[in-house]
Amino acid sequence: MAEQYTAAMIGTGGIAACHMGYYVPNERVDLVAASDINEDSLNAFGEKFGVDQLYGDWQTMLDEVRPDIVSICTWNATHPPMTIAAAEAGARGIICEKPLGEDLGGPMDALAACEKTGCRLVVHEQRRYMTGFATARSQIQAGAIGSPITLCWRNEGGLLNIGTHFLDAAHFVLGDPGWTRVIGWIQRNTDRYERGSYCEEKLHVLVDFEGGHQLRLAMDIVEGEKGQECSAVGPDGLMYFDREQVTVFDADGRREVQPEEQPDYLEDLVSWIEGGPEHRNAAHHTFKTQEIMMAIYESARTRTMIEPPYTKRESPLAEMIEAGELPATGEAYDIRTQAGLDYATKMRAGK
Protein backbone atom coordinates (compact mmCIF):
# COMPACT_ATOMS: atom_id res chain seq x y z
CA MET A 1 0.00 0.00 0.00
CA ALA A 2 1.21 3.52 -0.81
CA GLU A 3 2.74 5.41 2.12
CA GLN A 4 0.48 7.92 3.95
CA TYR A 5 1.71 11.36 5.10
CA THR A 6 0.66 13.85 7.75
CA ALA A 7 0.77 17.60 7.15
CA ALA A 8 0.47 20.79 9.20
CA MET A 9 -0.30 24.39 8.32
CA ILE A 10 1.47 27.43 9.82
CA GLY A 11 -0.62 30.55 9.22
CA THR A 12 -4.32 30.16 8.42
CA GLY A 13 -5.09 33.33 6.42
CA GLY A 14 -5.81 33.93 2.75
CA ILE A 15 -3.24 31.75 1.00
CA ALA A 16 -3.65 28.85 3.45
CA ALA A 17 -7.05 28.21 1.85
CA CYS A 18 -5.30 27.88 -1.52
CA HIS A 19 -2.91 25.26 -0.03
CA MET A 20 -5.98 23.41 1.26
CA GLY A 21 -7.03 23.13 -2.39
CA TYR A 22 -4.03 20.79 -2.72
CA TYR A 23 -4.52 18.89 0.57
CA VAL A 24 -8.29 18.31 0.62
CA PRO A 25 -8.54 16.15 -2.54
CA ASN A 26 -5.26 14.29 -1.86
CA GLU A 27 -5.87 10.82 -0.46
CA ARG A 28 -2.30 10.19 0.69
CA VAL A 29 -1.73 13.38 2.69
CA ASP A 30 -3.82 14.20 5.76
CA LEU A 31 -3.56 17.75 7.10
CA VAL A 32 -3.93 17.07 10.82
CA ALA A 33 -2.82 20.29 12.57
CA ALA A 34 -2.69 24.06 12.17
CA SER A 35 -1.20 27.03 13.97
CA ASP A 36 -1.86 30.78 14.00
CA ILE A 37 -1.30 33.65 16.40
CA ASN A 38 -4.77 34.91 15.47
CA GLU A 39 -7.19 32.72 17.41
CA ASP A 40 -10.26 33.68 15.37
CA SER A 41 -8.55 32.83 12.10
CA LEU A 42 -7.24 29.54 13.56
CA ASN A 43 -10.65 28.45 14.88
CA ALA A 44 -12.41 29.37 11.64
CA PHE A 45 -9.82 27.37 9.68
CA GLY A 46 -10.20 24.37 12.03
CA GLU A 47 -13.97 24.41 11.65
CA LYS A 48 -13.97 24.88 7.88
CA PHE A 49 -11.47 22.11 7.14
CA GLY A 50 -12.23 19.75 10.05
CA VAL A 51 -8.77 20.16 11.64
CA ASP A 52 -8.85 19.72 15.42
CA GLN A 53 -5.20 19.92 16.51
CA LEU A 54 -4.96 23.71 16.73
CA TYR A 55 -1.96 25.57 18.18
CA GLY A 56 -1.24 29.20 19.04
CA ASP A 57 2.48 28.43 18.90
CA TRP A 58 3.89 26.87 15.73
CA GLN A 59 7.08 25.52 17.33
CA THR A 60 5.00 23.57 19.88
CA MET A 61 2.94 22.19 17.00
CA LEU A 62 6.07 21.03 15.13
CA ASP A 63 7.50 19.45 18.32
CA GLU A 64 4.29 17.60 19.22
CA VAL A 65 2.87 16.67 15.80
CA ARG A 66 6.14 16.04 13.88
CA PRO A 67 4.35 16.42 10.51
CA ASP A 68 5.79 14.89 7.36
CA ILE A 69 4.84 17.95 5.28
CA VAL A 70 4.56 21.56 6.47
CA SER A 71 2.87 24.46 4.70
CA ILE A 72 4.24 27.88 5.71
CA CYS A 73 1.61 30.53 5.00
CA THR A 74 2.63 33.36 7.32
CA TRP A 75 4.06 36.83 6.62
CA ASN A 76 7.36 37.13 4.75
CA ALA A 77 9.97 37.61 7.49
CA THR A 78 8.91 34.42 9.27
CA HIS A 79 9.54 32.12 6.27
CA PRO A 80 13.26 31.32 6.84
CA PRO A 81 13.11 30.57 10.60
CA MET A 82 9.96 28.45 10.16
CA THR A 83 11.50 26.53 7.24
CA ILE A 84 14.63 25.80 9.29
CA ALA A 85 12.58 24.70 12.32
CA ALA A 86 10.30 22.49 10.22
CA ALA A 87 13.29 20.76 8.59
CA GLU A 88 14.90 20.28 12.01
CA ALA A 89 11.62 18.83 13.36
CA GLY A 90 11.88 16.09 10.73
CA ALA A 91 9.62 17.37 7.92
CA ARG A 92 10.25 15.50 4.68
CA GLY A 93 8.68 18.21 2.55
CA ILE A 94 7.84 21.89 2.98
CA ILE A 95 5.66 24.18 0.88
CA CYS A 96 6.82 27.65 1.86
CA GLU A 97 5.07 30.74 0.61
CA LYS A 98 6.89 33.29 -1.51
CA PRO A 99 9.04 35.26 -1.01
CA LEU A 100 11.53 32.91 0.61
CA GLY A 101 12.60 35.83 2.83
CA GLU A 102 13.18 39.57 2.95
CA ASP A 103 16.94 39.30 2.29
CA LEU A 104 19.34 36.66 0.89
CA GLY A 105 20.86 35.44 4.17
CA GLY A 106 17.61 33.93 5.51
CA PRO A 107 16.93 31.94 2.30
CA MET A 108 20.59 30.79 2.22
CA ASP A 109 20.19 29.37 5.73
CA ALA A 110 16.79 27.83 4.92
CA LEU A 111 18.17 26.00 1.86
CA ALA A 112 21.20 24.81 3.84
CA ALA A 113 18.98 23.45 6.66
CA CYS A 114 16.84 21.49 4.19
CA GLU A 115 19.90 20.23 2.34
CA LYS A 116 21.29 18.97 5.66
CA THR A 117 18.20 17.01 6.68
CA GLY A 118 17.19 15.92 3.15
CA CYS A 119 13.91 17.82 3.40
CA ARG A 120 12.34 18.65 0.00
CA LEU A 121 11.72 22.41 0.03
CA VAL A 122 9.39 23.98 -2.51
CA VAL A 123 8.44 27.64 -2.68
CA HIS A 124 4.93 28.39 -3.80
CA GLU A 125 5.58 30.11 -7.12
CA GLN A 126 2.58 28.35 -8.58
CA ARG A 127 2.75 29.90 -12.07
CA ARG A 128 5.00 26.96 -12.99
CA TYR A 129 1.87 24.78 -12.62
CA MET A 130 -0.48 27.07 -14.55
CA THR A 131 -1.47 26.02 -18.06
CA GLY A 132 -0.68 29.38 -19.69
CA PHE A 133 2.88 29.65 -18.35
CA ALA A 134 3.71 25.98 -18.91
CA THR A 135 2.36 26.13 -22.48
CA ALA A 136 4.36 29.33 -23.12
CA ARG A 137 7.49 27.49 -21.97
CA SER A 138 6.84 24.59 -24.38
CA GLN A 139 6.18 27.01 -27.24
CA ILE A 140 9.41 28.90 -26.58
CA GLN A 141 11.36 25.65 -26.30
CA ALA A 142 9.86 24.52 -29.63
CA GLY A 143 11.15 27.75 -31.22
CA ALA A 144 7.70 29.30 -31.88
CA ILE A 145 9.06 32.88 -31.88
CA GLY A 146 12.80 32.25 -32.19
CA SER A 147 15.51 33.38 -29.82
CA PRO A 148 16.68 35.54 -28.03
CA ILE A 149 13.48 36.74 -26.39
CA THR A 150 12.48 39.96 -24.65
CA LEU A 151 9.75 39.59 -22.01
CA CYS A 152 7.73 42.58 -20.78
CA TRP A 153 5.53 42.62 -17.69
CA ARG A 154 3.88 45.37 -15.67
CA ASN A 155 1.82 45.17 -12.52
CA GLU A 156 1.28 46.65 -9.07
CA GLY A 157 1.98 45.35 -5.58
CA GLY A 158 5.73 45.52 -4.92
CA LEU A 159 8.76 43.49 -5.95
CA LEU A 160 8.91 40.94 -3.10
CA ASN A 161 5.16 40.43 -3.28
CA ILE A 162 4.17 40.30 -6.97
CA GLY A 163 7.47 40.93 -8.80
CA THR A 164 8.81 37.64 -7.44
CA HIS A 165 6.09 35.78 -9.39
CA PHE A 166 7.09 37.41 -12.66
CA LEU A 167 10.81 36.86 -12.12
CA ASP A 168 10.21 33.19 -11.38
CA ALA A 169 7.83 32.85 -14.33
CA ALA A 170 10.37 34.53 -16.63
CA HIS A 171 13.00 31.99 -15.61
CA PHE A 172 10.50 29.20 -16.14
CA VAL A 173 9.24 30.17 -19.59
CA LEU A 174 12.80 30.81 -20.80
CA GLY A 175 13.89 27.33 -19.66
CA ASP A 176 15.60 28.42 -16.40
CA PRO A 177 18.70 30.18 -17.76
CA GLY A 178 21.12 31.87 -15.35
CA TRP A 179 20.92 35.67 -14.99
CA THR A 180 23.84 37.73 -16.30
CA ARG A 181 23.12 41.36 -15.29
CA VAL A 182 20.57 43.48 -13.49
CA ILE A 183 19.77 47.18 -13.58
CA GLY A 184 17.21 48.45 -11.07
CA TRP A 185 15.59 51.78 -10.31
CA ILE A 186 13.31 52.36 -7.31
CA GLN A 187 11.43 55.18 -5.59
CA ARG A 188 10.18 55.15 -1.98
CA ASN A 189 9.01 58.59 -0.88
CA THR A 190 6.33 57.30 1.52
CA ASP A 191 6.65 54.76 4.34
CA ARG A 192 5.29 51.79 2.36
CA TYR A 193 5.17 48.15 3.58
CA GLU A 194 3.71 44.88 2.32
CA ARG A 195 2.71 42.33 4.98
CA GLY A 196 5.25 44.06 7.21
CA SER A 197 8.16 43.96 4.73
CA TYR A 198 9.72 47.17 3.47
CA CYS A 199 8.23 47.87 0.05
CA GLU A 200 9.35 50.30 -2.63
CA GLU A 201 6.68 52.53 -4.21
CA LYS A 202 7.82 52.28 -7.81
CA LEU A 203 10.29 50.06 -9.60
CA HIS A 204 11.68 49.56 -13.07
CA VAL A 205 14.05 46.75 -13.91
CA LEU A 206 16.06 45.15 -16.70
CA VAL A 207 17.26 41.59 -16.12
CA ASP A 208 19.49 39.89 -18.70
CA PHE A 209 19.71 36.10 -18.92
CA GLU A 210 22.06 33.63 -20.55
CA GLY A 211 21.14 33.17 -24.19
CA GLY A 212 20.67 36.91 -24.70
CA HIS A 213 17.12 36.96 -23.24
CA GLN A 214 15.91 40.03 -21.36
CA LEU A 215 13.08 40.78 -18.92
CA ARG A 216 11.67 44.32 -18.58
CA LEU A 217 9.59 44.61 -15.44
CA ALA A 218 7.67 47.70 -14.35
CA MET A 219 6.02 47.57 -10.91
CA ASP A 220 3.63 50.21 -9.55
CA ILE A 221 4.59 52.78 -12.19
CA VAL A 222 0.93 53.39 -12.99
CA GLU A 223 -1.21 53.36 -9.84
CA GLY A 224 -3.47 50.32 -9.52
CA GLU A 225 -2.25 48.76 -12.76
CA LYS A 226 -2.96 45.03 -12.81
CA GLY A 227 -1.91 42.90 -15.74
CA GLN A 228 -1.04 39.23 -15.57
CA GLU A 229 -0.36 39.17 -19.30
CA CYS A 230 3.21 39.02 -20.55
CA SER A 231 4.43 39.83 -24.03
CA ALA A 232 7.37 37.88 -25.44
CA VAL A 233 9.09 39.17 -28.55
CA GLY A 234 11.52 37.05 -30.58
CA PRO A 235 13.08 37.35 -34.04
CA ASP A 236 10.39 35.09 -35.58
CA GLY A 237 7.26 36.26 -33.84
CA LEU A 238 5.40 37.61 -30.86
CA MET A 239 3.58 35.78 -28.09
CA TYR A 240 1.10 36.92 -25.42
CA PHE A 241 0.43 34.67 -22.46
CA ASP A 242 -1.20 34.72 -19.04
CA ARG A 243 -2.24 32.12 -16.45
CA GLU A 244 -4.58 30.33 -18.84
CA GLN A 245 -3.76 30.97 -22.46
CA VAL A 246 -1.13 31.62 -25.08
CA THR A 247 -1.51 33.51 -28.36
CA VAL A 248 1.23 33.47 -30.98
CA PHE A 249 1.63 35.92 -33.88
CA ASP A 250 4.09 34.78 -36.54
CA ALA A 251 4.55 34.75 -40.31
CA ASP A 252 1.40 32.56 -40.60
CA GLY A 253 -0.75 35.04 -38.67
CA ARG A 254 -2.42 34.71 -35.25
CA ARG A 255 -3.10 31.41 -33.47
CA GLU A 256 -4.41 30.44 -30.04
CA VAL A 257 -2.32 27.59 -28.64
CA GLN A 258 -4.12 24.60 -27.14
CA PRO A 259 -3.29 24.74 -23.38
CA GLU A 260 -1.47 21.72 -21.95
CA GLU A 261 -2.85 19.80 -18.95
CA GLN A 262 -0.64 20.25 -15.84
CA PRO A 263 0.30 17.81 -13.04
CA ASP A 264 -0.93 18.13 -9.44
CA TYR A 265 1.14 20.35 -7.16
CA LEU A 266 1.07 18.18 -4.02
CA GLU A 267 1.34 14.86 -5.84
CA ASP A 268 4.55 16.18 -7.41
CA LEU A 269 5.93 16.97 -3.95
CA VAL A 270 5.08 13.49 -2.62
CA SER A 271 6.69 11.98 -5.69
CA TRP A 272 9.86 14.06 -5.14
CA ILE A 273 9.96 12.96 -1.47
CA GLU A 274 9.75 9.36 -2.68
CA GLY A 275 12.71 9.76 -5.07
CA GLY A 276 10.79 10.91 -8.16
CA PRO A 277 11.67 13.91 -10.34
CA GLU A 278 12.44 17.27 -8.77
CA HIS A 279 9.38 19.47 -8.12
CA ARG A 280 8.99 22.43 -10.48
CA ASN A 281 9.06 24.75 -7.47
CA ALA A 282 12.30 23.31 -5.99
CA ALA A 283 13.73 26.10 -3.84
CA HIS A 284 16.91 26.56 -5.87
CA HIS A 285 14.79 28.19 -8.59
CA THR A 286 13.27 30.68 -6.15
CA PHE A 287 16.68 31.30 -4.66
CA LYS A 288 17.80 32.60 -8.06
CA THR A 289 14.80 34.94 -8.05
CA GLN A 290 15.72 36.07 -4.54
CA GLU A 291 19.27 36.83 -5.74
CA ILE A 292 17.90 38.92 -8.59
CA MET A 293 15.53 40.84 -6.30
CA MET A 294 18.38 41.69 -3.94
CA ALA A 295 20.63 42.57 -6.92
CA ILE A 296 17.89 44.95 -8.15
CA TYR A 297 17.91 46.74 -4.79
CA GLU A 298 21.72 46.75 -4.78
CA SER A 299 21.72 48.27 -8.27
CA ALA A 300 19.34 51.01 -7.08
CA ARG A 301 21.48 51.55 -3.96
CA THR A 302 24.81 51.79 -5.77
CA ARG A 303 23.48 53.15 -9.09
CA THR A 304 25.46 50.49 -10.92
CA MET A 305 24.76 47.42 -13.01
CA ILE A 306 25.06 44.21 -10.93
CA GLU A 307 26.45 40.94 -12.26
CA PRO A 308 26.60 37.52 -10.58
CA PRO A 309 27.88 36.08 -8.36
CA TYR A 310 25.71 37.98 -5.89
CA THR A 311 26.21 36.83 -2.30
CA LYS A 312 25.40 39.74 0.03
CA ARG A 313 23.20 38.43 2.85
CA GLU A 314 21.56 41.69 3.91
CA SER A 315 18.74 43.44 2.03
CA PRO A 316 20.04 46.56 0.25
CA LEU A 317 16.50 47.99 0.45
CA ALA A 318 16.52 47.68 4.25
CA GLU A 319 20.06 49.07 4.27
CA MET A 320 19.00 52.17 2.30
CA ILE A 321 15.88 52.78 4.39
CA GLU A 322 17.60 52.27 7.73
CA ALA A 323 20.52 54.52 6.69
CA GLY A 324 18.07 57.32 5.83
CA GLU A 325 18.97 57.19 2.13
CA LEU A 326 15.30 56.92 1.11
CA PRO A 327 13.60 59.56 3.29
CA ALA A 328 9.83 58.95 3.47
CA THR A 329 7.06 61.33 4.46
CA GLY A 330 3.82 60.49 6.29
CA GLU A 331 2.60 57.59 8.41
CA ALA A 332 3.70 53.99 7.85
CA TYR A 333 1.11 52.04 5.81
CA ASP A 334 0.80 48.48 4.59
CA ILE A 335 -0.60 47.62 1.15
CA ARG A 336 -1.80 44.18 2.35
CA THR A 337 -2.39 43.94 6.12
CA GLN A 338 -1.94 46.28 9.07
CA ALA A 339 -1.62 43.23 11.39
CA GLY A 340 1.41 42.13 9.33
CA LEU A 341 3.00 45.56 9.73
CA ASP A 342 2.30 45.65 13.49
CA TYR A 343 3.87 42.20 13.89
CA ALA A 344 6.96 43.08 11.79
CA THR A 345 7.45 46.39 13.60
CA LYS A 346 7.60 44.51 16.92
CA MET A 347 10.01 41.92 15.42
CA ARG A 348 12.29 44.65 14.07
CA ALA A 349 12.31 46.29 17.49
CA GLY A 350 13.34 42.91 18.95
CA LYS A 351 10.15 42.49 21.04
- In the complex, which residues of this chain contact ligand NAD (CB under 6 A)? 10-15, 35-38, 41, 58, 73-76, 78, 97-98, 124, 126, 161, 195, 337, 340, 343
Q: State the nearest-atom distance from the C-beta of 159 to ligand NAD, in Å.
A: 12
Q: State the nearest-atom distance from the C-beta of 124 to ligand NAD, in Å.
A: 4
Q: Are strands 69-72 and 5-10 parallel, antiparallel or unpaired?
A: parallel
Taking the CA atoms of residue 66, residue 3, residue 13 and residue 286 in that order, the dihedral angle to the nearest 10 degrees is 90
Based on CB atoms, which residue is closest to ligand NAD, 48 or 116?
Answer: 48
Q: State the nearest-atom distance from the C-beta of 232 to ligand NAD, in Å.
A: 22
- The strand pairing partners of 205, in sequence order, are 184, 217
Based on CB atoms, which residue is closest to ligand NAD, 129 or 145?
Answer: 129
Q: State the nearest-atom distance from the C-beta of 86 to ligand NAD, in Å.
A: 12
Based on CB atoms, which residue is closest to ligand NAD, 81 or 105?
Answer: 81
Centroid of chain to Cα 136: 19
Based on CB atoms, which residue is closest to ligand NAD, 12 or 135?
Answer: 12
Q: State the nearest-atom distance from the C-beta of 70 to ligand NAD, in Å.
A: 12
Residue whose C-alpha is closest to residue 281's, from 34, 19, 20: 19
Based on CB atoms, which residue is closest to ligand NAD, 24 or 44?
Answer: 44
Taking the CA atoms of residue 260, residue 261, residue 265 and residue 269 in that order, the dihedral angle to the nearest 10 degrees is -90
In 119-252, beta strands by DSSP E: 120-123, 150-155, 179-187, 190-194, 197-198, 202-209, 214-219, 230-234, 237-241, 246-250
- Dihedrals φ, ψ of 230, to 5°? -115, 145
The three-class DSSP label of residue 120 is: strand
- What is the distance between the alpha carbons of residues 157 and 160, in angstroms, rounded to a whole number? 9
Q: Does the CA dihedral 217-282-315-305 come out positive or negative?
A: negative
Residue nearest to ligand NAD (CB): 13
Based on CB atoms, which residue is closest to ligand NAD, 269 or 306?
Answer: 269
97 neighbors 78 (Cβ within 8 angstroms): no
Q: State the nearest-atom distance from the C-beta of 74 to ligand NAD, in Å.
A: 4
Based on CB atoms, which residue is closest to ligand NAD, 45 or 179?
Answer: 45
Residue whose C-alpha is closest to residue 109's, from 349, 266, 313: 313
Q: State the nearest-atom distance from the C-beta of 171 to ligand NAD, in Å.
A: 16
